[in-house]
Chains A and B, each alone.
Chain A
Amino acid sequence: MINVLLAGFGGLGDQDHQTAMYLPAFTAHPAFRIAGVAATHPADEPRALAAAESAGVPYHADLATALSTVDAPVVSVAAPAQTRTDALLTAVRAGRHVLADKPFTPTRAEAEQVVAAAEGTGIVVAQHHRYHPMVTAGVAALRGGTVGLPWNVQVDFVVAGGHPCQDELLNFGGYPVDVVAALTNLPVLRVHATAAGPLTVLALGHEHGMTSTIVVGRTAPRAGVPEGRLAHHRYRVSGSHGVLVLDATKPAVTVSTASGLDRQWLPVDTLTGLLDDLHAVVTGAKPAGPTLDDALRTAAVLDAARRSLTEGVPVATDGGTA
């Protein structure tokens, strides 16, 4: 069993993925055990205390003390935006492996700083959608040549309702960008972004001339879609020899009653795969490099997207002009 310290209980806006996602996932995972809880900011305290109590582990009001007290090789960082980068730096400088909530850091520069500080330890960013069984099946099909050489991917990643946050591109953008990275493993060289209210359209240029277009963001609530859940989550990969269409809103049983229509399916687990990957990195079964690369690549795409939105032109992810 690997001990885990839960650090930070915030995110963008009023998010608390630590309580909602990582705490239950670590608790359920056979290879991990929660060993302590730390606040990173006064705003964390009530939730951190509640988590410590529910997990029956010690609570620490600051991360540095927790790190020197709790024997935990893994830190799960889901700190509020203001303390996120500091918490990540503190954890990696203390030689700990990190499960990092998304968005990894507010900016690309901070992502680079954290990765540079992580000598010899692993960082897995919780882009958990790449562990969706639909995506892992898609990855296997693509590597097996099912549609030949991919040359375009179209994506809709649209959440309906829930709590809007200031920067939905930062909030959600990493998910589809990361899934496209998982599907194709083709780094993004160029980004053109266009704003559409709470949605953003990202036109990406990848290695080997592949292009992708991603519609990402949040809309007002939609009937039939639970608040804050994905109304559209699909990928179409066009390849030299065929087309792969993935739609995570399927399969579903439709249940119709006098009061409405509902689509239901069994819960889809994307967190076990994430923690399995973290476990592989922590135990050395998998090199830490690729997950660090993925984190940096996604941060670079979001950074370029922001620049493109401001400048109105395509932007190169290497910092140059596109």
Chain B
Amino acid sequence: MERCFAELAERTSSTDAELAERTPNTDANAFGVVIVGTGMIAGLHIAALRSSTRARLVGLVDTDPARAAAASLANGGVRATTDLAEALAWPGVDGAIVCTPNGSHGAIAMAVAAAGKHLMIEKPLATSTAEATAVVDAFRERGLVLATAHTHRVYDYSMAVKAALDSGQVGEPQVIRATLLGGWIWGDWNAWVLDPARSGGHQLHNGVHLLDLVTWWMGATPDSVYARGRRQTATELPIYDYLEMVLRFPGDRVAVCEMSRAHRPSTTGHRDVLVIGTEGTVALPWDAEPSLVFGEQGVTALPPVSGSAFTRQLDAWLDGTPVAGGAEGLAAVAMAEAAEQSMASGQPVELTS
């Protein structure tokens, strides 16, 4: 489980655990979904499916037979396989939710498109712009709904910031700061996220969250990226655990994105948003928490209980109007790729739209 994520982001979705307790939807007319990859994030998608009156879980795919079997057991013995093609051919399957490591996204997405199924894919959409473009084209050509799970768009905090900006009270954003700092390094050296071939690196793994958010808040795509990366936890890290990305937007506007798994202590969960607009400021400071726990782990935030973010995300996909679609997923991949080039060259990288 991406623990830091749970701490930072799922402040809004603590009802997911309760949702998991509910009886699954057995209505055969409901939108049938297969889950591909049954790891940490799949659990939250499955919980949202269970609570849905419109969709139902048809079955599960995981290349690891033991994980496939365990996930089936945990979900009332729902059908499970290690073979994606087999699952996509099951009767009653209308779409897939893909929750596999990033490097497998492109190929799995193409298989889903070829099978004529709708897709919600975890971020990043793919690990290269070329691959992401092919996926977007494949879904567009077939008229299938493609959603990229840029989950931060459906958390209460980001929606509150967006609503404040959309209200027009603060004018045009001139500088946006978006900061998510954690200190949990994804387990040990075996974690797939640390392998650039499987994760695409941190900029594609978690960097895309902030790249997508600031683009959404700004209401524009950047024209250049200047990024700096750091291997803080260990010099031998094959990816950067701390990322800082400065995006320049048309019209002299700038976003500063910080994404970290490098901070100490390892329990760090620090989120900070500051938008300085032409006429006002929107601030969501790191200490803007309604409930705090003074415990043996230090001071931690107690997530407030509110609507499930994953339910919002699922419903939007089912409506055919995903929170973030293929274009947004592709844009995030392109920005992350530019960030990677910038970190390699030490120079800003221009983005072509």
Contact = CB atoms under 8 A, between A and B. Distances in A.
Interface of A: 147-148, 151-152, 154, 156, 158, 192, 194-199, 201, 203, 205, 209, 211, 213, 215, 219-220, 222, 231-232, 238-243, 245, 312-314, 322
A293 to B, nearest CB: 26
B254 A194 contact: yes
Contacts of A209: 230
Interface stretch (B76-84, B90-98, B240-248, B328-336): B240-248
Given A195-B252, A243-B268, A322 B346 contact: yes
B175 A151 contact: no
Return the 6 tightest CB-CB contacts between A and B, nearest first: A196-B254, A197-B174, A196-B174, A196-B175, A201-B254, A194-B254
A120 B265 CA distance: 47
- Secondary structure at chain A's binding surface: helix, strand, loop or mixed? strand
5 contacts: A198-B174, A201-B246, A203-B228, A219-B281, A242-B264
Interface stretch (B59-67, B109-117, B270-278, B312-320): B270-278
A194 B348 CA distance: 10
Interface string B227-267: 01010100000000010101010001110101010111100
B211 to A, nearest CB: 16
B174 A243 contact: no
Contacts of B54: none
Contacts of B177: 156, 215
Interface of B: 174-175, 177, 179, 181, 226, 228, 230, 232, 242, 244, 246, 248, 252-254, 256, 258, 260, 262-265, 268, 270, 274, 276, 278-281, 286, 346-348
A154 B175 contact: no
Given A194-B254, A215-B177, A239-B264, A232 B274 contact: yes
Contacts of A314: 226, 346-348
Given A196-B174, A312-B348, A313-B348, A203 B276 contact: no
A152 B256 CA distance: 14
Contacts of B179: 154
Contacts of B254: 194-196, 199, 201
A231 B281 contact: yes
B274 A156 contact: yes
B276 A194 contact: no
Contacts of A322: 346
Contact of B232 (A151, A196, A205, A222): A151
Contacts of A148: 264
Contact of B256 (A215, A222, A231, A241): A215
B264 A241 contact: yes
Nearest to B172: A197
A215 B230 contact: no
Contact of B280 (A152, A215, A222, A241): A222
B347 A220 contact: no
Given A241-B264, A313-B348, A314-B347, A211 B276 contact: no
A158 B253 CA distance: 15
Candidate in B181, B256, B258 with the most chain A CB atoms within 10 angstroms: B256
A240 B281 contact: no
A219 B276 contact: yes
B263 A243 contact: yes
B347 A199 contact: no
